[in-house]
Amino acid sequence: MGNKIISFFILVVFLALTTIASNASEASVSDTNPANLENLTEQANIMAVRQAYVDFSKGDVISALDKFAENAEWVQPGGPQVPLSGNYQGKVQIAGFFLALNTTLKFTKFDINEYIAKGNEVVVIGSYQALNRATEKTYSSDFISIFTIDSGKFVRYETYHDTAAIVLANALETEQ
């Protein structure tokens, strides 16, 4: 009797595993649909961008920087009156930007409202408030940032925000 119970138990386990394996193989076949693969890639891209913001907010610039390709481009809008504006090429220059950003500004608020992914791009919509360390003036701005991702690495970053607010916060009292 004991052997029959063990044999029956083994048969039930075998059937259950066979059913699970069959369902898994069916799921993986449907996952090869290009639309499903693109959605998975877009979700992975959003997660990479989210993690970069988390790393940066924790002060872990090295982990944030690691998400960029060696030849990545970082684009900050504005002209000569906007501190830190310009095009930064490669990880070394981007690291220099992060260092200058940290010495120039202290973010007192940073909110991300939405992540939107399409293909290899992730658009981030949010707002922030920052204190200019030199002038001790605070300013606020909405922003839109666009990350372009290739093979899991950020190859381009471009942001749009209120550069006029930055100029005002950077102005010394005697300049106004």
| Structural domains for the chain | 31-175 (3.10.450.50)
Report, in angstroms and rounded to the nearest whole number, the Rg of the chain calculated over CA atoms.
25
Sequential pLDDT tens for the chain (176 residues): 555 544 444 443 344 444 444 444 444 444 455 555 567 799 999 999 999 999 988 989 899 999 999 999 999 998 888 889 999 999 999 999 999 999 999 999 999 999 999 999 999 999 999 999 999 999 999 999 999 999 999 999 999 999 888 888 888 654 44
The b-or-e profile of 9-27 (16+ CB within 10 A means b, else e) is: eeeeeeeeeeeeeeeeeee
The b-or-e profile of 87-108 (16+ CB within 10 A means b, else e) is: ebeebeebbebbeebeebbeee
